[in-house]
């Protein structure tokens, strides 16, 4: 047990030191208050760099989908500069990635509980093991990662570019969904999700979406997207026969 804990501590230390290396050219000196430093967030791809002997090549990509391990970071970096010159706020829905443009938007799905959140990538990392994304505290909280520390996730690139330097950009789409419940308690959303997954005609389409409204996090259980062939009204009628009320949402 002692050896296991020591190994974990060393991995976390490597991740911590790696982030310090990436930020060293931007971070204020110990004698400077961060508010006194001229903060100029920028759209950034960045040059190739080495961490722990591994070469990383940041680049723009048209399609990016990956599954792997997510971790999270928070208090030790709160208030410090991110890799593209923003101030890291552990309560923002952001994350760090090794090579995607800064900023980018990623849809992150926790493959354990199927919760989803769209995060804004504004930092570099993680540099520990096979981890593919480092979530902010808030992002990890929404996805249910805080307690275990890591989770298997799927990442899907949605957008990137300088227009994303403004926070909370709404995403536009034209998809039909059925909304089955809105909860402030994540466990209640998980219970409904588990129930719906046992219904044969729904199980591949059920997911939990998160939404932040005035600082509160809501967990929304949805089915979709549903296309014309699947006939959203037909699915809604089947749900009603199973005594499950739903609401049609066009996004």
Question: What CATH number did the domain enclosing 131 receive?
Answer: 2.40.40.10
CA distance 219 to 4: 35
Residue 112 lies in a domain: yes
Domain boundary among 125, 142, 165: 165
Report residue 2 as tokens: 């002692």
Strand (E) positions, 34-171?
Answer: 49-51, 54-56, 65-73, 94-96, 104-110, 115-123, 131-136, 151-160
Rounded to an integer, what is the distance from CA 12 to the centroid of its chain? 20
In this predicted structure, what is the pLDDT of residue 140? Answer: 95
Q: Are 158 and 106 in contact (CB under 8 A)?
A: yes
pLDDT confidence of residue 158: 86
Do 116 and 188 sit in the same domain of this protein?
Answer: no
E strands in the chain: 49-51, 54-56, 65-73, 94-96, 104-110, 115-123, 131-136, 151-160, 176-183, 206-213, 216-226, 247-250
Together in a domain, 14 and 115: yes
**Does residue 109 sit in the same domain as residue 228?**
no
Residues 132 and 214 in one domain: no
The average pLDDT across 8-13 equals 40
- Encoding tokens for residue 39? 């903060």
CA 76-144-62 angle, to 5 degrees, is 85
DSSP 129: T
pLDDT tens digits along 85-101: 899 999 999 999 999 99
Average pLDDT over residues 1-18: 40
Residue 8 resides in a domain:
yes
Tens-digit pLDDT profile for residues 183-241: 999 999 999 988 888 887 776 688 898 887 777 888 999 888 876 545 677 788 788 88
Structurally, how many domains does the chain consist of? Answer: 2
Query: In percent, how much of the chain has pLDDT > 90?
Result: 42
The stretch 52-59 carries a mean pLDDT of: 94
pLDDT of residue 161: 86
Is residue 9 over pLDDT 70? no
- Is 152 in the same domain as 238? no
Is this structure's pTM higher than 0.75? no
In a domain, 171, yes or no: no
pLDDT attached to residue 1: 35
Region 22-46 average pLDDT: 58
Do 218 and 146 belong together in one domain?
Answer: no
- Domain of 202? 176-250
170 falls within a domain? no
Whether 109 and 229 map to the same domain: the answer is: no
Q: Average the pLDDT over each of 51-55, 68-72, 169-173, 176-180 and give the range with the smallest value.
A: 169-173
**pLDDT at position 13:** 41
pLDDT score of 248 more than 80 = no
Is residue 27 helix, strand or coil?
Answer: coil
pLDDT of the residue at 152:
97
195 and 153 together in one domain: no
In a domain, 18, yes or no: yes
Tell me what the pLDDT averaged over the chain comes to: 80
> How many other C-beta atoms can be found within 10 angstroms of the C-beta atom of residue 82?
25
Sort residue 83 into left (φ over 0), alpha (ψ -120 to 50) or beta.
alpha
49 is written with which tokens? 């760099």
Query: Residue 232 has what pLDDT?
Result: 73
CATH of the domain at 246: 3.30.70.1070
Q: What is the pLDDT of residue 90?
A: 92
Same domain membership, residue 138 and residue 58: yes
| d(C-alpha 84, C-alpha 103), whole Å | 8
Tokens read off for 240: 């009603």
Domain boundary among 127, 146, 165: 165
State the DSSP H helix or E strand holding residue 12, giving kind and residue range, or none if neither: helix 2-23
Domain closes at, from 165, 193, 221:
165
Q: Are residues 111 and 232 in the same domain?
A: no
Look at residue 45 in the predicted model and tell me its pLDDT: 93
Please indicate, yes or no, whether residues 48 and 124 belong to a single structural domain of this protein.
yes
> Same structural domain for residues 65 and 186?
no
Is residue 102 one of the residues assigned to a domain?
yes
């Amino acid at each position: 047990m002692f050896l296991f804990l020591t190994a974990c501590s060393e991995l976390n230390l490597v991740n911590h030191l790696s982030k310090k290396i990436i930020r060293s050219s931007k971070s204020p000196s110990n004698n400077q208050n961060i508010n006194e430093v001229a903060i100029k967030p920028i759209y950034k791809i960045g040059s190739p760099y080495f961490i722990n002997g591994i070469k990383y090549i940041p680049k723009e990509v048209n399609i990016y989908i990956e599954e792997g391990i997510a971790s999270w970071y928070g208090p030790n970096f709160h208030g410090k500069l991110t890799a593209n010159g923003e101030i890291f706020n552990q309560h923002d829905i952001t994350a760090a990635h090794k090579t995607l443009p800064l900023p980018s938007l990623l849809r992150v799905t926790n493959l354990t509980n199927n919760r989803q959140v769209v995060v804004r990538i504004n930092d570099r990392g993680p540099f520990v093991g096979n981890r593919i994304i480092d979530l902010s505290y808030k992002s990890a909280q929404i996805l249910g990662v805080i307690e275990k520390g890591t989770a298997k996730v799927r990442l899907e690139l949605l957008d990137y570019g300088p227009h994303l330097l403004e926070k909370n950009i709404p995403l536009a789409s034209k998809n039909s969904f059925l909304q089955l419940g809105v909860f402030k308690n994540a466990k209640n959303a998980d219970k409904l999700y588990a129930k719906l997954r046992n219904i044969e005609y729904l199980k591949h389409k059920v997911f939990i979406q998160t939404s932040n409204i005035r600082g509160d996090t809501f967990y929304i259980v949805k089915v979709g997207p549903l296309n014309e062939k699947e006939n959203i009204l037909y699915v809604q009628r089947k749900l009603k026969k199973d005594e499950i009320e739903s609401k049609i949402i066009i996004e």
